Structure 1
Amino acid sequence: MKTLIRKYRLHLQAMFLLLAMLVCAVVLTSCEKDKLDIQQNYPFEVQVMPVPKEVANGQTVEIRITIERSGNFNDAEYFIRYFQFDGYGTLRYYNEPPYMPNDLYLLPQTQFRLYYTSQSTVSQSFDVWISDNFGNEKQVSFQFNSRD
């Protein structure tokens, strides 16, 4: 009888050991480091403070812009480009040289000021595109009537 109890005890111990090894194998293989889901691509909105409706030839208008992100990823970069399709003028970032139309420029901040200087006596219109390094893009249109 003692031999029979020892056999069952050995079988039970072997079954518990096998069950423990199976649980460890499932737990350890369910966590894969290479497949962590880290979100990097956050959409954004562009907020623009009100600007004047009229501008005179030679006058400079300040345009205050804020990029409002829906999330924060440290490696996100933002870019700006513009195209003027009515009238003539220049657009620049703070005291930097004027932007060239359709060229892409890196924005160092998400809150900044642009300065548009009219070089025309007719109505002026231009679009500004702000994009990020994940392919998201927003367009903001500006139109100024001539004060001349």
Structure 2
Amino acid sequence: MNAIIKRLRIRRTYFFAMLAMLMIGLVMTACNREPLDIKRDFPFEVSVMPVPKEITKGETVEIRCKILRKGNYEGTKYNIRYFQFDGQGVLRCGDAPPYLPNDLYPLPGEVFRLYYTSGSVVSQSFDIWVGDNFGNEKQVNFQFSGKNTEG
């Protein structure tokens, strides 16, 4: 009788040892060693309130802009650059110094105001590019006709 009990204990020990090894094997193979793919790169649009079509030399126009994100990632940072290809003028954001063409500037937030001051009496055109730190970029074009101030 003692021999039978001894055999059952040995078999139970082997059974639990095999079960433990099986569980460890399942756990080890179930873990994915590749890093998780966290989506951080979300497209966006730039919404602009209507602006006047005509402007006189020295006049400043407020351009209200808003970034409309398709997703939300807290680490997204936005920047702006511009290039004026017709006429002369100065673009700035809020009370910041005037922007230099083709230089990148950080945006203060997703809602911002640009101020364009005309420097000529002829038609003026410029583009702004709003981009994020993931390489997404949107272009917005502005065109102003010279307004005749003589009556």
Which band: TM-score by shorter chain? 0.7 to 0.9
1:133 corresponds to: 133
Task: Give the drift of 1:136.
Answer: 0.7
Within 5 Å, which residues of 2 pair with 1:82-101? 82-101=82-101
1:54 aligned to 2:22?
A: no
2:19 corresponds to: 19
Identity over aligned pairs, percent: 57
1:45 corresponds to: 45
Cα-to-partner distance string for 1:15-61 (whole Å, 9 max, x where unaligned): 45313322233224533576122222111111111111111111111
Q: Which amino acid aligns with 1:58?
A: G
CA–CA separation in structure 1 for the residues paired with 2:13 and 2:50? 78
SS of equivalent residue, structure 1 residue 109: coil
Q: Aligned Cα RMSD in Å?
A: 2.2
SS of equivalent residue, structure 1 residue 35: coil
2:121 corresponds to: 121
What's the TM-score once normalised by structure 1's chain length?
0.86
What's the TM-score once normalised by structure 2's chain length?
0.85
CA–CA separation in structure 1 for the residues paired with 2:28 and 2:37? 18
SS of equivalent residue, structure 2 residue 21: helix
**Farther-moved stretch of structure 1 (73-82 vs 6-15):** 6-15
CA–CA separation in structure 1 for the residues paired with 2:70 and 2:17? 50
1:144 aligned to 2:144?
A: yes
**Farther-moved stretch of structure 1 (4-13 vs 74-83):** 4-13
CA–CA separation in structure 2 for the residues paired with 1:30 and 1:70? 33
CA–CA separation in structure 1 for the residues paired with 2:35 and 2:24? 20
1:75 aligned to 2:108?
A: no
Q: Which amino acid aligns with 1:44?
A: F
CA–CA separation in structure 1 for the residues paired with 2:70 and 2:15? 52
Q: Which amino acid aligns with 2:59?
A: Q
SS of equivalent residue, structure 1 residue 113: strand
Cα-to-partner distance string for 1:117-139 (whole Å, 9 max, x where unaligned): 11111111000001111111110
